[in-house]
Amino acid sequence: MAPNTIEDLLARLVRFPTVTKDLQANHQALDFIADFLSKRGMYIERFDAHGFESLVATVRPGQKTPTVMLGAHLDVVPAAEELFDPRVEDDRIYGRGVLDMKFAIASYLTLVDEWQGSLLDYDFGIMITTDEENAGNSVRRLLEEGYQPKVCIIPDGGDDWQLQLTSRAFNHIRLRTFGKQAHGSRPWLGENAILPLIDALGEIRQLFGENIPQASTLNIGTIKGGTALNQVPDYAEASLDIRSKDTEMELLDPKIKAICQKYNVEYTVVVEGSATNFKLNDPYIAPFVRHIKAVTGIDVIGSHTYGSNDTRFFTAYNIPCISLYVTGGGHHGPEEWVSRRALAQFKEVLGRYLNEMARPTPGQI
């Protein structure tokens, strides 16, 4: 395999075990990316937010508002060691992160490698973060720093070329209760912190109907309380994962808070994310759809995701996002894979799109 082919670059990226909290592995991978891009003429800015590093590369120094930003997260979920050694079987490349979402980074690097020497003909940047699997606050901070493109491509949702158009808002909430310790044989001398938490959770659960795709949903992810069987616990906590349709959380939130107040439960929002709503006919999205059809023959009708990704941060700035997975599957699992054919097709679609949308006329920048 010739150096710097898209498959070669993807393999190199996968071999960095960039699990979110492995700060050293992520640092080393960002070093590789920064060195690769800078040697081909891009200007690099590095950032650090509580140990989670990120990188922005632009074709002109100090540029914060390119027409197109190519976004991706480098971090991955934990995996067995062998999954960081990619393997090829027929049309499939297997390995941790090949689909979620190092295929995108490999595509970006390949295009820059091919276009070195003519990068000033384009108006785009590359944004790489390392904390998407851990709430993704780096993207939010970069937007606050002024990195606000006309459109951002984040290939991190929407299966088999179907662009992610809508997603639900989410709220991760921590509930905590406090009591008084006593011996388990004399519970009347203590105050059991678990009991009011259970009562509150029961009432909160009644605010939601059946957990079905069409409804807002509640998942009680963890419950913790007590340290010994024969001791009245003085502390308990639970974590909630709420996924809501449109603005329904605005109606649910005061009701949940009222229940918590009733049972003297402490209510804390740990992290929250906005719903997304993008349109196929958006002038920055429609050309990408057209190029997918031209290259792959696939009709893009759009899709809805029940999860979330970094596109949520761009909605506050009215920046449209192009988010999709190419042909592949198994992300977050032991058989994560991406199609070799689709990998090459994605690079072609991306190149066509940038040639149409990110080649400014003289004097435009």
Q: What is the pTM of this model?
A: 0.88
Per-residue pLDDT tens digits for 229-278 = 999 999 999 999 999 977 788 899 999 999 999 999 999 999 888 889 99
Question: What is the C-alpha to C-alpha distance for residues 176 and 237, in angstroms, rounded to an integer?
Answer: 4
| pLDDT given at position 3 | 61
Give the C-alpha separation, 238 to 198, whole Å: 9
pLDDT score of 2? 46
Residue 125: helix, strand or coil by DSSP? strand
H or E element, residue 48:
strand 43-49
> What are the distances in angstroms from CA 166 to CA 25, 242, 315?
33, 16, 11
260 with 228: CB under 8 angstroms?
no
Structure tokens of 131? 């904390």
Q: Is the pLDDT of residue 365 over 90?
A: no
Domains of the chain, start order: 6-167+275-357 (3.40.630.10), 171-273 (3.30.70.360)
Q: In which band, very low, low, confident or very high, does the pLDDT at 136 lie, cut at 50, 70 and 90?
A: confident
